[in-house]
Amino acid sequence: MIPAKPKLLDQMKSVMRTAHYSRRTEEAYLLWARQFILFHGKRHPREMGEGEVSAFLNHLAVNRNVSASTQNQALSALLYLYGKVLDKPLGRLDGQITRAKTPQRRPLVLTREEVDAVLRQLHGERRMVGQLLYGSGLRLMEALRLRVQDVDFSYRTITVREGKGFKDRVTMLPEGLAEPLRLHLEGVRRLHARDVRQGFGSVWLPFALERKYPHGARSWAWQYVFPAGKRIVWEDGTERRHHLHEKTMQVAVQKAVRAAGIGKAASCHTLRHSFATHLLERGQDIRTVQELLGHKDVSTTMIYTHVLNKPGLAVKSPLDG
């Protein structure tokens, strides 16, 4: 009996897993592929082409009023579906798509006093994560996905594995955070030892490393720096302890901003923006900041140079005259 051919979205998922795409990208691409199919009355994508793709993307921009980045993500998902899964690359779409407008926004930045006020409202591991976002310039998921082996206390460095664009980079471990983080890890180690005694203690390992290193998932080096409070059962039936959920930090920071009485729509990412801005304010060269942030192009880092053009430095307001 010939086995049934897997469904299209299952094929797409399998191809992305083989290519080591992140789970977030995988979820986003599958979502857009599903919405594309539903938009066209559940027609199979193989029966459609550039015209239907353009119609869907125009619908997103005109009717749903999505942002430019959202529309571009949907386009990337469909290009991947046709090019890598269906082996039917799309032709030129230039001129067929109504592009969503990209607003030119300056990053929201907190002052040093505001950052201090926010961090004081956080407690325990949440405060430590916030300190890493601001003190090391990490993205939220980069901080939450840190493993024990990524923190080097001797050299005061943190290694970010597979950051945005699948790139590794090294950033600083703040001097003032070294000892609190060391004490935190002692508590995490006790939690891990308890899990092992109970027959658990394994974590998810990327890229089939669990098959290559059968005991690696339970080793101390691979444990998360910020483990979740509870173990969960994964798709393969294994009960594991994952890292702290990002929603936990996002809600905690929002509450901290309100409690600090700050009238800005600050978020976890605002702490990273503040890290870059404050380094430039202190005279750090932009190339170094680029490397610490993990930006591919220095032009991305240039958005923080607005702090070097503060209004009032060279021009005096007539009100002050």
Determine whether 134 is an active site residue: no
Which one from 145, 241, 273, 295 is the annotated catalytic residue?
Answer: 295
Distance from C-alpha of 47 to C-alpha of 106, rounded to nearest angstrom:
43
Torsion of CA 133, 139, 142, 146, to 10 degrees: 0
Determine whether 43 is an active site residue: no
Which one from 192, 272, 273, 278 is the annotated catalytic residue?
Answer: 272
Structure tokens at 180: 């609190």
Determine whether 21 is an active site residue: no
Which one from 34, 139, 169, 255 is the annotated catalytic residue?
Answer: 139
Determine whether 243 is an active site residue: no
Distance from C-alpha of 75 to C-alpha of 69, rounded to nearest angstrom:
10
Q: What is the DSSP code (8-state) at residue 263?
A: -
Number of helices and strands (H, E) in the chain?
13, 5
What does the H/E/C string look like for 81-150? HHHHHCCCCCCCCCCCCCCCCCCCCCCCCCCHHHHHHHHHCCCHHHHHHHHHHHHHCCCHHHHHCCEHHH
Q: Which residues contact 148 (CB under 8 A, 6 or more apart)?
A: 185, 188, 220, 221, 222, 223, 224, 225
Query: Is the distance from CB of 66 to CB of 24 less than 8 angstroms?
Result: no
Which one from 34, 84, 164, 255 is the annotated catalytic residue?
Answer: 164
Determine whether 164 is an active site residue: yes
Determine whether 310 is an active site residue: no
Query: Is the distance from CB of 92 to CB of 54 less than 8 angstroms?
Result: no
Q: What amino acid positions are annotated as catalytic residues?
A: 139, 164, 269, 272, 295, 304
